[in-house]
Amino acid sequence: MDHMTSSKLTKVVLSNTNNPKLACHLLKRILSSSTSSSSIPTHHLLRSTRAAMRLLIAANMHHQIHDLRQFILSTQPPQIAHPSLLFLVQALARSPAHLHHAFSHFKTLRDHFPSLPPPISLYNLLLHSSLNQHLSDFATWLYSDMITAGIKPQTYTFNLMIQTLCDSGALDHARNLFDKMSEKGCHPNEFTLGILVRGFCRAGLTSQALDILDKSPGLVANRVVYNTLISSFCKEDLTEEAEKLVERMKEQGMLPDVVTFNSRISALCRVGKVLEASRIFRDMQLDQELGLPRPNRVTYNLMLKGFCKIGMLVEARALVDTMKKDGNFTTLESYNTWLLGLLRNGKLLEAQLVLDEMIAEGMEPNSYSYNIMIDGLCRKHMLLDARRLMDLMVSNGVYPDTVTYSTLLHGYCSKGKPVERGKNTRSRGNAANDE
């Protein structure tokens, strides 16, 4: 074959974009010719090979990719075959849909070139992709293979492995790997600490997570780590421990942010300490000179839920008015929270007006919104109104779920109307048959 430039070679392959199979065939001819002639430079061949592989990957032609891989391994020297397979694995690993194929080709690469270990960047890419796809077995195998190949892990590599172990529930192994990082020539950073702390907190082991922080004096915890711990302590109703961490943040010159305050408010409201939560909320609204964060929509919804939970409807109404004025009463969650609060406190008529307001404002109620109202009507034995609301629900394109039917059935049974219950059951049965 006459000398061809890189651009001409690649153009030959890419001219068959709509026919990747033909492009692959042309590439094989080029590669075959190169074995009997030294007229085509190696980097030109590699560019053409990568172009053909991209076409095959885009077309999901994995059988042809496999054949091309085998052809390259059987006909090309290491300076062509090794980088070609490296590129193939890298390109496949970047797409979740191709990850299993990437591992298959990677294992072939390792089997054929045991003395040419892949770069750490490829291991990190495969580890990251495995983590995103929750393939902990792949990640564990990769780490073992990396050590076998004599590749020195980076801190980023350890971070990926620790997160993989945490996600799979192997917290003791994650902690052990964290403790041994320095022995392997790597030092944990704030991200390593955050990953491990989050893993233990998600497992409900907040005290152990705090112990990790306390026993890592060389690491400076960032705001995310503190917020993770504070939120986790709050979820466990350990508010004193959470408050100690807030003070610890301040001592380190780290001002708590809105996430910190939301966690505290949520915990206080959950255990019924709504007045204490409201004082924190008021400080956020008024004391900007103290550097406190302003409330966001999450803060408002938490306080609204807290007020409604203990029947402080006067405060709840005032808060709703403030939210509307500030443009914070615009989400379905806010409306549903207010609907539920009104109905739990016996304000059926007001709740109906809120539902009408939602529709008028273009806020489409979901099944949860309707179920709240249907439950309120059934508790008042207003079964006809409940059935009418369910009809309205369907006409608005929201279909009843098991909660809707269970609520209605319970309403009919509690009022001693088995005939109505039977009619409703038959309606459901007919609807199922129609489907």
111 plus 121 within the same structural domain: no
122 plus 110 within the same structural domain: no
Q: Which of residues 64, 89, 115 is at a domain's end?
A: 115
248 plus 233 within the same structural domain: yes
Task: Please give the Cα distance from 362 to 364 (Å, whole number).
Answer: 6
104 plus 129 within the same structural domain: no
Task: Please give the Cα distance from 415 to 380 (Å, whole number).
Answer: 10
DSSP state of 294: P
Task: Please give the Cα distance from 435 to 432 (Å, whole number).
Answer: 5
DSSP state of 141: H
56 plus 132 within the same structural domain: no
Is 319 part of any domain?
A: no
Structural domain that includes position 432: 343-435
84 plus 132 within the same structural domain: no
Contact indicator for 398, 370 with CB cutoff of 8 Å:
yes
100 plus 134 within the same structural domain: no
Q: How is residue 394 written in tokens?
A: 């369907």
Q: Which of residues 66, 93, 115 is at a domain's end?
A: 115
29 plus 90 within the same structural domain: yes
Q: Which of residues 81, 115, 149 is at a domain's end?
A: 115
Report the pLDDT value the prediction gives residue 422, as an integer from 0 to 100: 44
Report the pLDDT value the prediction gives residue 434, as an integer from 0 to 100: 37
DSSP state of 253: T
98 plus 133 within the same structural domain: no
Instruction: Please count the other Cβ atoms lying within 10 Å of the Cβ belonging to residue 115.
Output: 6
Report the pLDDT value the prediction gives residue 418, as an integer from 0 to 100: 52
Distance of CA 201 to the CA centre of its chain: 17
Task: Output the domain CATH number for residue 176.
Answer: 1.25.40.10
Report the pLDDT value the prediction gives residue 359, as an integer from 0 to 100: 86
Is 239 part of any domain?
A: yes
Q: 3-state DSSP call for residue 22?
A: helix
Contact indicator for 160, 128 with CB cutoff of 8 Å:
yes
Task: Please give the Cα distance from 208 to 416 (Å, whole number).
Answer: 54
pTM more than 0.85:
no
Is 37 part of any domain?
A: yes
Contact indicator for 229, 201 with CB cutoff of 8 Å:
yes
Is 144 part of any domain?
A: yes
Q: How is residue 179 written in tokens?
A: 């403790």
Contact indicator for 308, 341 with CB cutoff of 8 Å:
yes
Task: Please give the Cα distance from 252 to 240 (Å, whole number).
Answer: 19
Report the pLDDT value the prediction gives residue 268, as an integer from 0 to 100: 86
Is 179 part of any domain?
A: yes
Report the pLDDT value the prediction gives residue 14, as an integer from 0 to 100: 64
15 plus 45 within the same structural domain: yes
Q: How is residue 397 written in tokens?
A: 């394109």
Nearest to 118 by CA among 132, 130, 103: 103
Nearest to 139 by CA among 325, 150, 153, 258: 153
The total domain count for the chain is: 3
18 plus 53 within the same structural domain: yes
Alpha helices in 149-257 (DSSP H): 155-167, 171-179, 190-202, 206-214, 223-235, 239-251
Nearest to 323 by CA among 301, 356, 343: 301
- List C-alpha distances in Å: 427 to 313, 405, 421, 422, 423: 39, 11, 10, 8, 6
Report the pLDDT value the prediction gives residue 428, as an integer from 0 to 100: 42
Is 435 part of any domain?
A: yes
Is 281 part of any domain?
A: no
Is 296 part of any domain?
A: no
Q: 3-state DSSP call for residue 400?
A: coil
| Cα angle: 206, vertex 234, 250; to 5 degrees | 90
Each residue's pLDDT, cut to its tens digit, for the chain (435 residues) gives 444 554 566 666 666 667 788 888 878 887 887 665 556 778 888 888 898 899 899 999 999 999 999 999 998 999 999 999 999 999 999 988 999 999 999 999 999 999 999 999 999 999 999 888 888 888 889 999 998 999 999 999 999 999 989 988 899 999 999 998 988 788 899 999 999 999 999 999 999 999 999 998 788 888 899 999 998 988 888 888 988 998 998 888 888 889 889 988 988 888 888 998 999 898 888 866 566 788 999 999 999 999 999 999 999 999 999 999 988 898 999 999 999 999 989 899 999 999 999 888 888 899 999 999 899 888 888 888 888 888 988 988 888 888 988 888 888 887 665 544 444 444 444 433 333
Report the pLDDT value the prediction gives residue 431, as an integer from 0 to 100: 39
89 plus 141 within the same structural domain: no
Report the pLDDT value the prediction gives residue 417, as an integer from 0 to 100: 58
